[in-house]
Structure 1
Amino acid sequence: MDIPGPEPRADGGVGAIAAAGGLHHYQLRLHAEYGPVVRFQLPGVETAVSVADPVLLEATAHLDERPERLFAFLDPLFEAGNLQVIPAEEHTPWRRVLLSVLAGRPSHERHFARFTELATALADRWAEQAEQAEQAERADRASVVLQKDLTALSLRMICAYALGGEAADPDGVVAAFEEVLTEHLGRLYQVPDVGSRQERAERAEAALGRLRTMVDQVVAAHRSDARTDRSDLIGALVGAGERPARVRDTVMVMMLAAHHTTGVAVSWTLHLLGRHPEAAARVADELDRVLGDRAAPDYADLRRLTYLEMVLKEAMRLFPPGPYGARETAEPLALGDYEIPAGATIFYPFWAVHMNPDHWPEPEKFVPERFTPEETAKRPRLAYLPFGLGPRSCEGAGLAMVEAELVLAVLLKRFRFRPVPGHEVTPIERFVLWAAEDIRMTVSPRIPG
């Protein structure tokens, strides 16, 4: 059976994607019109097939190769090969080492106190802003810019995690990485920036050099100490015999992935709670019940914050931080009634999967109760996949949930969040699902109970 889809265009699909507002929105439109399996054009890809049915996705879950051209924009960040597309025989042992650290409780507990310090520092700054606004009777000064502040926080958290306390200049690491990202992602999405193209490229190259030097210093310290602590990322990579360039590249890709996704997930969650005060009140009640007078949770407390976890999951369903994934078929693949040829690019449109009304009634509504154990058991396994699926799914999923829940707990224990009147929040494609003009909200101190 032929796979349905739009008629081919002479421009290779560029115009259709642009007219929809980006690939993420285009896939939503395609699946609404053509059904759960759609053939579509994508620049640089001969055959692209998008699959939004969680049952059919099971047939693709074993795929372990990504299409190189779609991730080529990340090539300059790496020296030992782009970690997003390394061959399966290299990827499998590397992934095994990462999971031994990132998915383990010892690793999470080891860094939890530092994560709490960083989240509390942001909360203190927001509290000071709110107090100054109250004294000056200026409500506008009590507003915060969520994505900007929370992605900066998540970058500091992942720097602390990946580099430990051993970076000589942690703020310098953050600044250098932001410079690199501004250039490479700005080039990808044609975001306006200061200076000429050459000046921006030179700034980014210099920042990348500084960043690599700082990471190398930390790696060298681990090698001289011959560490074997399996809760330590660099120590585990060194212990597994990874060469210095690959260790450095791993740190870089972790900073890239965790920087945007965690901060954006928390931002969208606060945005939704600001528009659903009844859910925000229930989160606050749970925090008061579990934490009492404490301003922040212990690691063990996270398991008791069940409604907060449901809220976060529902936010990532409605606004998945990474809205799509992609794999490449090495041989023909049967997908329901369709035959996918070898060499085809299979797209995972996470947003379209999460909005599939067959598995999510009234999918556009914010309903955290969708994630009770009883409701979760009713759905196919792959109806919800904010961290991807299969052997290329996100190794840091467990760590990301710990970070996000901690930050939300710290902020929601202390503050009420309300939308800034007149501020439009529009999701757009920026490597992650971003808000076009950020997400501005007013913060005010919350009285427990």
Structure 2
Amino acid sequence: MRIPGPEPRVDGGVGAVAAAGGLHNYQLRLHAEYGPVVQFQLPGTETAVSVADPVLLEATAHIDKRPERLFEFLAPLCEAGNVQVMAADEHTPWRRLLLSVLAGRPSHERHFAQFTALTTALADRWAGQAGREPVALQKDLTALTLRMICEYALGGDATDPDRVVAAFEEVLTESLGRLYQVPVPGTQEERAERAAESLAYLRATVDRVVAAHRSGSRTDKSDLIGALVDAGERPARIHDTVMVTMLAAHHTTGVAVSWTLHLLGRHPEAAERVADELDRVLGDRAAPEYADLRRLTYLEMALKESMRLYPPGPYGARETTEALVLGDYEIPAGATVFYPFWAVHMNPDHWPEPEKFVPERFTPQEAAKRPRLAYIPFGIGPRNCEGAGLAMIKAELVLAVLLKRFRFRPAPGHEVRPVERFVLWAADDIRMIVSPRSQQAG
């Protein structure tokens, strides 16, 4: 059976993606019009198929190849070859090493006090402007989570996290703009020059991080550079891994926390439930201990629901190495299969009234009713996010500290508009008014 989708266009589909405001919006529109499996045009792919049905996605979960052209926008960050599209035989040991560093709960607990101190420092700064000018959530929270990943895995603090975050944004905006012809301010020459300067700064930053790493025996399993050295990785691959880790770990977590605070600010009843839970679990303490996180169940549900509505990474993709049957359709070998996280999360068959913010969707009873892949903010299969567990711990800690101390409300007149970058970003940040709340236990 022919896979449904729009008629081919002479421009290869780039105009449709640009008109929709990015690939994630385009996929939402395609699935709304054509159903759970859609074939469409995309520059650099002969056959592109997007699958928003979590049951059908199961048949693709084993695929361990990414389409090179689709991830080309990350290539400027890498010197030894784009780590996002490594061949499976090279990717598997590299992934195993990353999991050994990022997924260890003892390491998470050991670094928890430092994470708390970094978060408290940001909260102290926000307290100084409470009730006055709005805070820029994305800017401050991505800088915070960059500091966290540097402290956890890279041996120290980022020298200038705001500049690092801005440099990543400059490089990726230019690279994505070229790939999908997305309108970006400035002439092509000006954009290229800004991107080149930002890339040079990022590479110099990574050079300093690697050079500052103390050689010798590794005593901490969360030491990413030490693990790479012990594994015999060549210097260029070590640099690339540090670069991509800095990018992925700060962008996704900072953005997830920002969208959660945005949604709670627009849903005061849910925010009050989170605050009541924090008062009940923490009492007079300003921050949780590591063991407290598993008792903050409603806070975790609110975070998960925000990542359903605004998945930090809006889509993933794989390339079929052999023909694949999905329900009534056959996907040829060499096709690009999209995991449109946003469209999966908005699938009304599994998420009634999907546009509504309802944290209670994530009670154990409700979650048990859904297919396994109905909720996939960290991807699926052998290329899913190695840092998912660490990201959740950091996000829950940051939310707990901030929501124990402050109330958040939308800044008057400020429009929050999602746009596609490497992550699902807000075009002009997410600006909110912060005010202190009572610290009495409820």
Aligned to 2:26: 26
Other-structure match for 2:16:
16
Q: 1:258 to 1:143 in 2, by over 3 A?
A: same
Q: In structure 2, what is the Cα distance between the partners aligned to 1:158 and 1:151?
A: 11
SS in 2 for 1:359: coil
What secondary structure, in the 3-state scheme, does the structure 2 residue paired with 1:268 have?
helix
Alignment of 1:86-97 (within 5 A): 86-97=86-97
Residues 1:179 and 2:167 are matched in the alignment: yes
Q: Which residue of 1 aligns with 2:84?
A: 84
What secondary structure does 2:402 align onto? helix
Answer yes or no: is 1:218 the counterpart of 2:212: yes
Do the aligned residues in 2 keep the contact of 1:110 with 1:231 (CA within 8 Å)?
no
Residues 303, 396 of structure 2: 8 Å contact kept = yes
Preserved contact between residue 151 and residue 260 of structure 1 (Cα < 8 Å): yes
Quick one: structure 1 residues 149 and 174, their matched pair in 2 at CA, closer, same or farther if it must change by over 3 Å? closer
Name the CA distance, whole Å, in 1 between partners of 2:184 and 2:112.
35
Q: By how many angstroms is 1:176 displaced?
A: 4.5
- The structural deviation recorded for 1:205 is 4.2
Superposed CA offset, 1:83-135 (max 9, x none)? 100000000011111112211112212221111111111110110111xx5xx
Asked if 2 retains the 8 angstrom alpha-carbon contact of 1:215 and 1:248, the reply is no
Is 1:250 aligned to residue 238 of structure 2? no
Counterpart amino acid of residue 204 in structure 2? R
- Give distance in 2, aligned partners of 1:201 and 1:23: 22
Q: State the Cα distance separating 1:260 from its structure 2 match.
A: 1.2
Residue number in structure 2 paired with 1:206:
200
Cα 1:257–1:4 change in 2 (3 A) is same
SS at match of 2:368: helix
- Cα deviation for residue 16 of structure 1 reads 1.1
Deviation by residue 1:339-390 (Cα, 9 ceiling, x = unmatched): 1000000000000000001101111111101101111111000000000000
In 1, the alpha carbon distance for the partners of 2:43 and 2:272 equals 47
Residue identity opposite 2:321 in structure 1: A
1:41 corresponds to: 41
Paired residue for 1:426? 417
Identity of paired residues, percent? 77
Unaligned runs of 5+ in 1: 134-140
Q: Does structure 1 conserve the Cα–Cα contact (< 8 Å) formed by 2:167 and 2:199? A: no
Q: How far apart are residue 297 of structure 1 and its match?
A: 0.8
**Which residue is equivalent to 1:380?**
371
In 2, the alpha carbon distance for the partners of 1:383 and 1:197 equals 39
Cα distance in 1 between the residues matched to 2:104 and 2:345: 27
- Match among 139, 144, 151 for residue 135 of structure 2: 144
Please show how residues 28-427 of structure 1 align to structure 2 within 5 Å.
Answer: 28-130=28-130, 141-165=132-156, 170-172=158-160, 175-176=163-164, 178-189=166-177, 190-192=183-185, 196-197=190-191, 199-219=193-213, 221=214, 224-427=215-418
Q: Separation in 1 of the partners of 2:408 and 2:161?
A: 31
181-190 or 394-403, larger mean C-alpha shift: 181-190
Counterpart among 419, 439, 443 of residue 430 in structure 2: 439
Deviations 1:43-94 (A, max 9, x none): 1111000000000000000000000011112112112221100000000011
Q: Is the 8 A contact 1:228 1:235 kept in 2?
A: no
Deviation at 1:197, TM superposition (A): 4.0
- Are 2:174 and 2:195, in contact at CA under 8 Å, matched by a contact in 1? no
CA distance in 1, matches of 2:385, 2:324: 24
Quote the offset at 1:199 in angstroms.
Answer: 4.0
Q: Distance in 2 between matches of 1:88 and 1:75?
A: 18
TM-score (norm 2): 0.94
Q: What SS does the aligned partner of 2:254 have?
A: helix
- Cα-to-partner distance string for 1:246-270 (whole Å, 9 max, x where unaligned): 2221111111111211111111100
- Root mean square deviation, CA, Å: 1.8
Give 1:429 deviation, angstroms: 1.1
Q: CA deviation at 1:227?
A: 1.4
1:237 Cα offset (Å): 2.3
Shift of 1:10: 0.4
Alignment partners' CA distance in 1, 2:151 and 2:219: 19
CA gap of 1:193–1:309, structure 2 versus 1, over 3 A, is farther
Distance 1:381 1:72, change over 3 A: same
1:174 deviation in Å?
5.9
Q: TM-score, normalised by structure 1?
A: 0.93
Query: What amino acid is the match of 2:288?
Result: P
Inter-partner Cα distance in structure 1 for 2:320 and 2:145: 34
Detail structure 1 runs of 4+ shifted over 4 Å in the superposition: none
Q: How many residues align?
A: 434
Question: 8 Å contact 1:266–1:408 — kept in the other structure?
Answer: yes
Q: Could you tell me which residue of structure 1 aligns to residue 180 of structure 2? A: none
Is this contact kept in 1: 2:314–2:423, CA < 8 A? yes
CA distance in 2, matches of 1:12, 1:198: 24
Name the stretch that deviates more: 362-371 or 142-151. 142-151
Distance 2:263 2:322 in 1: 43
The 8 Å contact of residues 177 and 211 in structure 1, kept in 2 or not, is answered as no
Contact 2:171 2:199 in 1 (8 A): no
- SS state at 1:346 partner: strand
Q: 1:328 to 1:13 in 2, by over 3 A?
A: same
Q: Which amino acid aligns with 2:266?
A: R
